[in-house]
Amino acid sequence: MATRIFVNLAVQDLDRSVAFFTKLGYTFNPQFTNEKATCMVISDTIYVMLLIRTFFQTFTEKEIVDARKAIETSIAISAESKEAVNEMVDKAVAAGATIPNPATDYGFMYQHSFDDLDGHHWEYVWMDPNGMPEHLG
């Protein structure tokens, strides 16, 4: 069995978040969905659990970061092409996301990002495996 990843994100309004990510083309697993949380399917091994803040808080004693004010992580997802990167970011902006930085093109890698409705940072990245340098940096 392949290793799966479940990214957990606190959201203010679950219905609003589901509507936002549905506009980006994502689907949700109804088996793991209720009024407190939902499971967004990125791929057959990558999932994002969107949990309302009060429910998320039951899993930790730490303070939950307000992603509109501070960043704890950047979620990076690969795309098939530069055009696919731009298409996803354009969909996100049309659905209410904000652009924190302009796109960057390194030749072998192209990336563009947005912050979702709760401020979580998403990067979409295309890489040319034939153009990658031997070492980054």
* pLDDT tens sequence across 52-81: 999 999 999 999 999 999 998 999 999 999
pLDDT number for residue 19: 98
Q: How far apart are the first and last CA of the chain?
A: 35
Whether pTM > 0.85 for this model: the answer is yes
The two domains 1-59 and 69-137 share their CATH topology (first three levels equal):
yes
Neighbouring C-alpha atoms within 13 Å toward the C-beta of 127? 7
Could you confirm whether domain 1-59 is CATH 3.50.50.60? no
Please list the ranges in the chain whose pLDDT falls under 70.
Answer: 132-137
pLDDT of residue 129: 77
pLDDT of residue 131: 72
Q: Which residue has the tokens 């990214």?
A: 7
Q: For 43, which DSSP code?
A: S
- pLDDT at position 1 is 84
Q: Top-level CATH class of 69-137?
A: alpha beta
CB 50 within 8 A of CB 56: no
Q: Where are the domains of the chain?
A: 1-59, 69-137
